[in-house]
Structure 1
Amino acid sequence: MNQIQVQEIECLLALAEELHFGRTAARLGCSQSRVSQLIAALERRVGVRLVDRTSRRVELTRFGAQFVAEVRPAYGTLATVVAHAQERARRGALCQLRIGFHGSVYEEVTEAFRQLRARHGVTMALSEIPLGSPFSAVLDGRLDAAVVELPVREAALTVGFRFPPQDRLLAVASSHPLAASGAGRVPVEELAGLDIVHPTGDAPDYWMVARVPRATPAGAPIRSTAGISTVQEGLALVASGEHAMLVCRPLAERATRGDVRYLAVDGLDEPSQLGLIWRTDRAAPQLTVLARLLHEEFTRVRIPDQLVV
């Protein structure tokens, strides 16, 4: 915008109302010469005269009147945004949290979100993040926090809340021999005979290995040739009969479909556990409140609001 200064716009809008350089100067708390300088600078940037001034009167030119009519709403919007930001800064708070998640958001989580809005006036902006990129959007500031699978060993991230651990199940096609047996369970060593899908993305190696182990407890290698970026992609590959997928029990309960069966895995000791994470250097008070509300929902123990930090 040719480096137009906000102070120049403010001066023109005040002059348009006062139509007097002396009164405009008094309103802005500056000298009349400063008002003249600001208007002249704005006219140079715009490239047209905006104000006609004689010894007897001050008025906007036709271009000036049109410019004021067009710029006043935009300036009002900018002033409102700045005022809201100042208010949030004064309270040390955000009015909205940007939260990322994988797959789906459980009822307990949405209830915590509802409580955060009802009790603290904080809303949520939710977005699904790629399955294999659990940390990137939080680390680069695109999200304030995310609900992702643990472990998290990044020094820049804080795990504000750990969800209750959940069993991991094996998803296979309903036509798969393991499902056809009717046992509903499978020994962990059977994983070596499957092709298990894995997340694709920029997650660290330790996180990827936690999703799909490279070997069974007895040391048999586990094959994983297909990558996925969403849970639904994984389920579609499973249903085709060529692949299997390790999932947590809550996901299995919410993603029921006729062409996929979920089997308990005997001997798979590592459970699945979600965590609410945020950048340690951007630990807004609302994130601490959200962690507390999640604790309330999963333990059904109400913590008094005055204990919020």
Structure 2
Amino acid sequence: METRELQYFVAVAEELHFGRAAERLGMAQPPLSRAIGLLERRLGVTLFERTSRSVTLTDAGSVLLAEGRAVLGALAAAERRTRRAATGRTGLVLVTKAGVSGDLLKELLAAYAAEPDAADVDVLLCEAREQERLLRDGQADVALMHWPYDSTAGFDTEELGTEGQVVILPAGHPLAGRSHVRTADVAALPDLPMARWPRPDGGYPDGPGAEVRNLTQLYQLIALGRTTVILAESCRTHLRADLAAVPVVDAPAVTTVIAWPPHSRSRAVAGLVRAASREHATTR
């Protein structure tokens, strides 16, 4: 299978429309349709179900989309890292969600900076669930991610800490004064539907809650009484004065991990991971 064929397939699979995919690729639709048909015949599978009104992925197509994204991401990452190496840069890029893991990140960077061979670390702050894409396509070398909310499939990881979760409420809300709540209590709030985060494809799940992409936007909407959210307990550290955090005793624990591509041969990445592991061991 050629890279060009994968690019064609992924474009159609993401757009689910041959015309839009052709426009995105800068080509005419007929040769794109022929290329996809040829790919299906060569693989011996149907990748798309086509009708006069819609295009949908088959099960086989869904598998190839996941694998194809990974392959194209790895190729893009190899190109970026090769070009960066040619410039003589020895540093690395660490990506994390903006507003999350602030104290942990500060401690991690300080521990690594104390190493005699430490490289420069550029911190890339991203929006929700973008770390995986940025790490996979080579824009970042290492990432701070959070189970069970972020997918670390295909990456090597090291656990850095586990914590409980809290619900974030307007400071004057009736539940704000409680010592703890349960997830059923939060789900039953008629006035504060749960916020909705984007899926990996950029769309949002159905529901009445506000669509959010980052903590700044989220906290403003909670303060206005429009939505709520359950987050890792460490968010208390820099919580706004007009918001309250109440422990959710039956919410799953959140584990912070440092993640990196398994094929990485970067000494800087290895050194940062070692420093993170030592810092975690001393703070447990």
TM-score category by the smaller chain?
A: 0.5 to 0.7
Give the TM-score taking structure 2 as reference length: 0.60
Q: Aligned partners of 1:147, 1:241: CA distance in 2, in Å?
A: 30
Tell me the equivalent position of 2:245: 262
Contact 2:168 2:231 in 1 (8 A): yes
Tell me the equivalent position of 1:136: 133
Give the counterpart of 1:156 among 154, 157, 169: 154
How far is the alpha carbon of 1:276 from its aligned partner? 1.0
Q: Aligned partners of 2:107, 2:101: CA distance in 1, in Å?
A: 10
SS in structure 2 opposite 1:276?
strand
> Is 1:246 aligned to 2:230, yes or no?
yes
Contact 1:95 1:121 in 2 (8 A): no
Question: Matched residue pairs, number?
Answer: 195
Tell me the equivalent position of 1:235: 219
> Is 1:198 aligned to 2:196, yes or no?
yes
> Is 1:298 aligned to 2:280, yes or no?
yes
Contact 1:145 1:276 in 2 (8 A): yes
Q: CA RMSD in A?
A: 3.0
How far is the alpha carbon of 1:110 from its aligned partner? 2.2
Q: Aligned partners of 1:156, 1:203: CA distance in 2, in Å?
A: 18
Q: Judging changes above 3 Å, is the alpha-carbon distance between structure 1 residues 224 and 279 closer, same or farther for their aligned structure 2 residues?
A: farther
> Is 1:116 aligned to 2:98, yes or no?
no
Q: Judging changes above 3 Å, is the alpha-carbon distance between structure 1 residues 267 and 121 closer, same or farther for their aligned structure 2 residues?
A: closer
Tell me the equivalent position of 1:60: none
Q: Map 1:86-105 onto structure 2 (within 5 A).
A: 95-102=90-97, 103-105=99-101
SS in structure 2 opposite 1:114?
helix
Tell me the equivalent position of 1:62: none
Tell me the equivalent position of 2:264: 282
Deviations 1:214-244 (A, max 9, x none): 9xxxxxxxx5522211111111111111211
Q: Could you list the runs of 5+ residues in structure 1 that have no partner in the other structure?
A: 1-81, 89-93, 215-222, 302-309
> Is 1:178 aligned to 2:162, yes or no?
no
Give the TM-score taking structure 1 as reference length: 0.56
Give the counterpart of 2:144 among 129, 141, 147: 147
SS in structure 1 opposite 2:131?
coil
How far is the alpha carbon of 1:115 from its aligned partner? 3.4
Percent identity of equivalent pairs:
15
Contact 1:172 1:244 in 2 (8 A): yes
Contact 1:133 1:201 in 2 (8 A): no
How far is the alpha carbon of 1:185 from its aligned partner? 1.4
How far is the alpha carbon of 1:104 from its aligned partner? 3.7
Q: Judging changes above 3 Å, is the alpha-carbon distance between structure 1 residues 176 and 288 closer, same or farther for their aligned structure 2 residues?
A: same
Q: Aligned partners of 2:268, 2:166: CA distance in 1, in Å?
A: 34
How far is the alpha carbon of 1:286 from its aligned partner? 2.1
How far is the alpha carbon of 1:258 from its aligned partner? 2.0
Contact 1:109 1:294 in 2 (8 A): no
